[in-house]
Structure 1
Amino acid sequence: MPSSCWFSNVRSAVAPGDWDRLRKMTYRRPGYRCEACGAPRDPDARRWLEAHERWSYPRETSSGRMIQKLTRLVALCTPCHQATHFGHAQIQGREQSALEHLCHVNGWTRQQAWEHVEAAFAKWQRRSEYVWELDMSMLTSVGVTITPHPRPGSARPTPRPHSTS
């Protein structure tokens, strides 16, 4: 997610009742399993299901605005969600477990996982050069009301890609 959209998400932009309904629908759709690795919720293993937002980043609009559009909510288990937000995992000191999960789920070597992470960081850096506006019309089209979420004055620490040299 580009840095201009940090701290903005569906959960903070909708009423608690709407969020509860959306996330439960998201978990139910794949049969209460992770849509990335297929794992079920397992409280004993501290593996939950979490609703993750998928966004598209269309090119600049004719009006010159950059739009980040919500395209789907997916159910991810805790380890898959952590790996998906790799920069956040780094900040929380969970880089190694996120990397191991990426390797396990994708059948990758550590080198392949790091190459993927570095490519993702490069894409994040390119996207973060712009200020993006959020388009959550996918939700408003089904009657969910969006409340603008104020952004805090300071940003989180910037995660860094792993150096392979």
Structure 2
Amino acid sequence: MATASPIDSSPETRFGGLESCALPRLTVELVPATTICSNLRSILPPEDWDGIRRQAYQNAGYRCEICAGKGSSHPVEAHEQWTYVELPMPAGHTESWQVLTSIWALCPACHEVKHLGFAEQKGRLPQAMAWLAAINGWSFATTVAYAQEAFSTWRQRSRRPWGLDIGWLETIGWHPPVLRWPPSIRETFDVSSVRP
């Protein structure tokens, strides 16, 4: 990856304009519409994905890495932690990258909050919002403001193609044949008709 200074405008780093505030324990991480289905489960052979997620579960002691809880039907699920980086390029352009930074073991309730748009599609937005508020000790108003900021960031990120960088897998001993897909070869996606 280039060594230019990245720009990260996620709600996790600028919520409410209070950049110096501590990060919440549980955050919303909406995947841009232009990268939906660009996840490890869909791009790796099933046996590789199973090995990676099971390693994450075992490393976490089969407990959620956020709330230390467990789900009722299965203890934890694998969550891909991504960061979104925009690298300045010549002529005022930027190159956007979705970069894998870790795999977390999360209970189903915390994992549902991470993908709040999917929770909304399943009719579970009230439950997910309540869990987000409870884990972070937030009021309803603070939780709604945070979620609105996360959806705003999602809309902005969904307007452009993102390269995919899964090089982090090498740090845990996995060596997939392809580690990076540049944004120039990825299809753009019309987000105007999509609402998480």
Q: In 2, are the aligned partners of 1:26 and 1:51 still within 8 Å (CA)?
A: yes
Query: How many aligned positions are there?
Result: 154
Deviations 1:116-135 (A, max 9, x none): 10111111122112111111
1:124 aligns to 2:122 (yes or no): no
Deviations 1:10-33 (A, max 9, x none): 111111111111001111112111
What TM-score, normalized to structure 1? 0.82
- 1:22 corresponds in structure 2 to 52
- 2:103 corresponds in structure 1 to 73
Gaps of 5+ in 2: 1-30
Q: In 2, are the aligned partners of 1:33 and 1:75 still within 8 Å (CA)?
A: yes
- 2:113 corresponds in structure 1 to 83
Q: CA RMSD in A?
A: 2.5
* Deviation at residue 6 of structure 1 after TM alignment: 1.0
CA distance in 2, matches of 1:26, 1:96: 28
One-letter identity of the residue aligned with 2:80: E
- 1:60 corresponds in structure 2 to 87
1:158 aligns to 2:195 (yes or no): yes
Q: In 1, are the aligned partners of 2:86 and 2:95 still within 8 Å (CA)?
A: no
CA distance in 1, matches of 2:58, 2:106: 12
SS of 2:117's equivalent? Answer: helix
1:143 aligns to 2:188 (yes or no): no
Q: 2:145 aligns with which of 107, 111, 115?
A: 115
SS of 1:57's equivalent? Answer: strand
One-letter identity of the residue aligned with 1:50: E
CA distance in 2, matches of 1:66, 1:54: 16
What TM-score, normalized to structure 2? 0.70
CA distance in 1, matches of 2:178, 2:110: 27
Gaps of 5+ in 1: 160-165
SS of 2:79's equivalent? Answer: strand
Q: In 2, are the aligned partners of 1:61 and 1:67 still within 8 Å (CA)?
A: no
* Deviation at residue 154 of structure 1 after TM alignment: 8.8
